[in-house]
Structure formats: structure tokens, C-alpha cells
A and B are shown apart, each in its own frame.
Chain A
């Protein structure tokens, strides 16, 4: 007896050393994996931040603008219609010419006016409409710099590259430097980026249209996919008896989860646009397509969390005489809710980041107006990013990065909500 005990203890001691080593290595693998993931995340975030943060600021140029009666309302009608139709671009050009009197040649003047955003005339028009007494006076006005001037003033265009390969020439640089020395240029927080729709002019392009489009689309997705998926999952998990039919459904649902998202877009194009003639580029169609794509995610998550509810709870309720519907509605579903919420939010954030299927149903169109309803043409955040990434101007590069940051903020908020909801509704037993 003693002998065998001795040897057991010795053997254990010998193997113990080896086991500890394995234990340590196992931990080390885990740490390495986590660190790798974190490093990639940090690289991604910091590159987006360094590229995108400048888009949140915008250069403005101060000019003494003469609100000439002859340009705005030569016949002195004082009619707001006439005032609204006037050519305010002339005011901008005149102001620039007054600031740089030695610029005479037509081509030079054109280069000069290219420093100021084409949106400036709208700004001046709004000023006059708001305050007609400005007519006939000269005012110092801060005007939006054009995209290229904006890039230069932010230092995004290095001066040492040859003139041919920059979008801004030496004369323009000289003018901008002169303005800067005067204190006639400044940088402001770019409110416009968060309130405007898309635009061909980088300095006027904003992300609000895409945010609204994404919100409308996701509302449709949520309203369709959540109730349908949860009901389907409850049916499969709690109410149906297992047979070849439920197996068939299960295989198909898992298949749906693996179908590439562009296929959903093709399906949407074929059915909703070509057969049902729903409007192109509309959030309602985008929402339906994304809902189809989100079904399997929510169904699978819901079934997993239904499975995690201990069977003893169902037995307890059944034993008291609860009907199958009561067992599910009073006990199983409330206990599964945290998992269902998490699954739904994961599905929704995947839908929020999805662009391929939406390209198929025309949400890739260039849309300036902020969508007002589910049937208005709209774009969404990831498609907006795709569109901007495709634009050649340097000014759109920072917009792309900034839009990506905005999208990531939304994703973080959604996933944090999932965690909070989970904490809040989780019950222990």
C-alpha cells in the first residue's frame, strides 16, 4: 500500500511540472491573441482619427463684401423674388477683385474665385433675404473656403510638391498666404458636416443625409426582422415537435446566414423593384432587404438564448398548469430577452455596416436632399463612405475617414447598448 502511494505521489509530482508549463503556455496564447486584436484595432482607429479629424474643422475666409444695389436689385423693386434670383457670385468675385486689385486677366480672376466655395453665394443670398437693409452697404463676411483652399489652409497640401501635381497653383498659394497674414482666414468647427447632405463640393458635403438614410433603413429593418425572427425562433424552439420539416427549416436558416449579402441585394432588385415596383434608392426597400439578411442572425441568437433557459423553469410552469403560450410568454421569453437583445443589436450593427446589397437597389445614387420619409431616395453611411472614397479630390479623403469615424461611433454606441441591456435584464437563478 505505502509503496504504491509513494510512487503515485512521485509520478504526480513529475507530471505536475509539465502540467504547469502547459497551463502557462495556454495563458500566453490567450494574451498574445488579445494583444494582437487590440493592436489592429488601435492601428485602425488611430489611422482613421489622424486622417479624419481635420474634416471636423473647416477653413473660412473673410472678405469685405459690397452688397451692390445694381447687382442685387437694379430696378429697386424691393421684391423678395428678384432679390432671391440675383447672381450673388458676382458679389463674391467683386469682393475678391477688390481685395487683390492687381489681378486682371479673366483666367487669373477665375483661379481667384476658385478659392471661395461655390456655396458662398447661397450664404450671401440668405444674408440679404434675412436683412434687406444690407443692400448698398459693405460688410466683412466670413465665407467658406473651397475644398482645395481648405486643404491648403489646413496644411494638407505640402508646398514642396511640383505645381503640376497639386490642385492649387503658386498664385493661389500666394493669395492664400496674403489672406492668412491679414488674419482673414480662420478654422471653425465644421457644423455643416453634421447637418448637410452630400454634395459635389467637398467643403459643402455633409453626412446628415446618410445618417438619416441609415436611421430610416434600420427602423424598417428592426420593425420587420425583430418580431418575425423572434416568433420564428420561439416556434422552432418551443412549440414545434422535431421532424423532417423543422430540420429542413433549420438547415435553410443556417444557410441564409451564410449567403453573401449581395445576393440579398439581387433578390431585392428582382422582386421589390422589378416586380413590385417599389421606389428605387428608398429606405423602405433597403430596410426590407437588410431585414431578410438579419433574420437568420436574430433567429439563431434567439434560439441559442431560448436553449439556455433551464428546462426546470419550463417544467415548473407547465406543472402549475401554464399553457404552452403562457410558459413561453411569462417565463422563457423574459429570461431569454438579454440574449435576444444582444443578437438583435449584433444583427442591426451588421445591417448598419452593410453596403453591397444596397448598391443593388440603387441606394448608391448621388443624393443631395435629406430624405424626409421611407419612400424618399436616400443613401446610407457605408454607401456614403464608399462614394466619397471613390472621389478623386483630396478633400474627400478626410471626409471618408471622418464618415468612417462617425459610423464606428454608431457601432460602438449600439454595442454598448447591447451590453447595458444585457446587464439590466439578466437574471440569475
Chain B
């Protein structure tokens, strides 16, 4: 832990406590420290502003390797904003300003020496709305490996495309139409194509922004299975509006409200005995 902190350049008052969200009294999911997985990402004192509007304030969150972390909260509370901080997708939004530190394996990703291209190869993203390129299914998946120069031969590329499609549970449906446009797939298939495209780069972390919001229950179930499967090799952070989904797929849950992190802990604990009444209210459907 200490080793990681040396790399962190905090712009504001250094924080001693580790990942204790505001409004929290006790521990935050550190119960059962014995089976604690190693830390993958950590955000400390993150503030995000859109112009003069503060969208997030003082977010401290730890993300552990090979776990699924669910971000829940009412619409507009800053979940997507937080997610975009993790791979610096906020950089290109005009007027958006990020303060604080976000570390990946102990290295501050907002450090000037960090190359976003390399960073995004390590942290993949699946968007809320499926957004395949208007190219063939094959080219969609092959695009990442190609631009990052991950392969030297056509065979190796084929291999990556096939395994990615298999992992995303899409191969059987598209085996015979790999060279047809990815935009011709159904919504659920497109979303799995986007997942295949993200994992083809073999990232360490995958960010998913409401990946199932446009899908029917069967396609949703497939993607949930997939997420559970992917957890073995990747660290996953998922935004969802679906409480059951968060409960089903995640190991940790973070509840955001009005730009602050209200509660963060083991999913089971958060859903069975929430400590904050806002969390309680939200998960029982009283507001949000």
C-alpha cells in the first residue's frame, strides 16, 4: 500500500484514511479482509467540474482485481462521469475538469507522463448505447489489436478475433457473417460485439456504462453471464440502474447520490444492510 502511495501526487490535503467514503462511519467492505483481492485502481479526492457545475465531489473508491464493482444511483448523480474519469474519456469533453488522483496499479493516470493511448489500451470501455463501427464484424473486433500492433500475422489476428467473439458469446451467431457490417446486428448482438471489441485489446480493466439498458431480459442474462465469466481475467466496473443486476453480478457496490459517494462495500452487505438511509431508500425503490 505504502509503495503505491509514493506515486500519488495529491493536489489537496493528503488523506490518511484509505477509501472511506463521506458519510461513512465504519469500515467499507473491508470485512473479510482475508479474501481481499489486490488493489487494481484507486481514486482519491476526485472532483469533476463541467464548467462551473460540480458533478462529483471528493470521491474515494478502491477497485480490486478480478472483481465486479457496480456503480448505482439515481439518474444524473455522476456515475458515467466517474466511469469516464477512470480512462480519461473526460479529457475530450469541453469544459470538463478533473481534480484528484486516479491510480492504476499505483500509477497516477492523470500524470503528465501517462499516454492516454496506452492507458486506454489497458482500460477498455463498453458504452451505454451499442456503438459498433460501420465496418464488418471482423474489422470491428480486429481494429484494437491492429492499431496497437498487438499481432504480426493475419493468423494471429484471426485467432484474437475468434477468441474475443467466443468470450463475448457471439461467435455462434455470427460465424457465417463475419464480413457483414456490424451495424446489421440486433441491439443485443451489437452490445456483445462491442464487448468483444473491447476485450480483443486484452485490457486489464473493463468499464461498462449500463451495458444492458437497451436489451431484453434474455440478452441481459447473457451479458450478465458473460460479465461473470470475464471476471476471472479482468477487473470490471459496471454502471447499472437495475438493482437485481447489481446484486447478481457484482462483488462490490458503490452508491452515488448527487455527486457524492454515499456508500461503498460488499454488494451483499450494501443490499442487505445498507448503512445510509439514502442507500436504503434507493435500493428499496423509495426514490431515484
By a CB distance below 8 angstroms, the chain B residues around A321 are 116-121, 144, 147-148, 201
For A318, the chain B residues whose CB sits under 8 A away are 89, 92, 120
A275 within 8 A of B: no
Least CB distance from A241 to B in Å reads 7
A320 touches B89 (CB 8 A): no
A-B contact pairs, 28 of them (CB 8 A): A241-B94, A310-B131, A313-B134, A315-B89, A316-B127, A317-B143, A318-B120, A319-B89, A319-B124, A319-B125, A319-B198, A320-B120, A320-B121, A320-B144, A320-B197, A321-B117, A321-B119, A321-B121, A321-B148, A321-B201, A323-B117, A330-B143, A330-B147, A331-B133, A335-B134, A427-B134, A427-B183, A429-B134
Chain A residues lying within 8 Å of B119, measured Cβ to Cβ, are 321
Instruction: Say yes or no: is A242 at the interface (Cβ < 8 Å to chain B).
Output: yes
| Complex-state Cα separation, A427 to B133, whole angstroms | 10
Quick one: which of A316, A322, A330, A428 contacts B194, CB cutoff 8 A? A316
CB of B140 to closest CB in A, whole Å: 9
Query: Is the pair B147, A322 in contact by a Cβ cutoff of 8 Å?
Result: yes
Residue of A nearest to B126 (CB): A319
Partner of B133, one of A242, A313, A323, A428: A313
Q: Does A7 touch B at the CB level, under 8 Å?
A: no
Interfacial chain B residues near A9, Cβ < 8 Å: none
Residues B183-236 near A (CB distance < 8 A): 183, 194, 197-198, 201
Which residue from B94, B131, B201 sits with its C-beta under 8 Å from A316?
Answer: B131
Please name the residue on chain A nearest to B128 by beta carbon.
Answer: A312
Centre residue among A242, A321, A323 by max chain B CB count within 10 A: A321
Cα of A180 to Cα of B118 in the assembled complex, Å = 87
In the bound assembly, the distance between CA atoms of A321 and B145 in angstroms comes to: 10
Q: A312-B127, A316-B127, A335-B134 are in contact. Are A322 and B117 (CB under 8 A)?
A: yes
Is A326 engaged at the interface, CB distance under 8 Å to the other chain? yes
Chain B residues, CB < 8 A from A322: 117, 143, 147
- Which residues of A have CB within 8 Å of B118? 321
**B246 smallest CB distance to A (angstroms):** 22
Task: Kindly state the separation between the CA atoms of A229 and B87 in the bound complex, as whole angstroms.
Answer: 33
A319 engages B87 (CB within 8 Å): yes
Q: How many residues does chain A have at the interface if contact means C-beta atoms less than 8 Å apart?
A: 21
Hey, which chain B residues are within 8 Å of A428, CB to CB? 134, 183
The answer to the question of B167 belonging to the interface, with a C-beta cut-off of 8 Å to chain A, is: no
Q: Which of B97-142 contact A (CB under 8 A)?
A: 116-121, 124-125, 127, 129, 131-134
In whole angstroms, what is the CA distance A302 to B186 when docked?
31
> Which residues in chain A, 272-290, are within 8 Å of chain B measured between CB atoms?
none
Q: Is the CB of B133 within 8 A of A316?
A: yes
Nearest-neighbour CB distance to chain B for A247, whole angstroms, equals: 13
| Top 9 A-B pairs, shortest CB-CB distance | A321-B120, A312-B131, A319-B125, A321-B121, A427-B134, A316-B131, A320-B144, A429-B134, A429-B183
**A315, B128: Cα distance in complex, Å:** 11
Chain B residue at smallest Cβ distance from A324 = B92
Separation of A315 and B80 alpha carbons in the complex (Å): 13
Are the C-beta atoms of A316 and B144 separated by less than 8 Å?
no
CB distance from A388 to the nearest CB of B (A): 49
Determine the chain A residues whose CB is within 8 A of the CB of B94 once the complex forms: 241-242
CA gap between A316 and B94 in the complex, in Å: 18
Whole-angstrom distance from the CB of B217 to the nearest CB of chain A? 24
Contact of B124 among A315, A320, A323, A335 (CB under 8 A): A320
- What are the residues of chain A within 8 A of B124 when measuring CB–CB? 319-320
Tell me the bound Cα distance from A321 to B117 in angstroms: 4
Q: How far is the CA of A242 from the CA of B93 in the complex (A)?
A: 11
Question: Which residues of A lie under 8 Å from residue B143 when comparing CB positions?
Answer: 317, 320, 322, 330
Q: In the complex, A429→B185 CA distance in Å?
A: 11
Residues of chain A contacted by B134 (CB below 8 angstroms): 313, 335, 427-429
**In the complex, what distance in Å separates the CA atom of A419 from the CA atom of B121?**
40
Which residues of chain A come closer than 8 Å to B131, judged between CB atoms?
310, 312-313, 315-316
CA–CA, A310 to B130, complex, Å?
Answer: 12
CB-nearest residue of chain A to B122: A321
Report the separation of the CA atoms of residues A427 and B118 in the bound assembly, to the nearest whole angstrom: 30
Nearest Cβ distance between residue A347 and chain B, in whole angstroms?
Answer: 26
B147 touches A320 (CB 8 A): yes
- Which of B132, B133, B148: most chain A CB closer than 10 A? B133
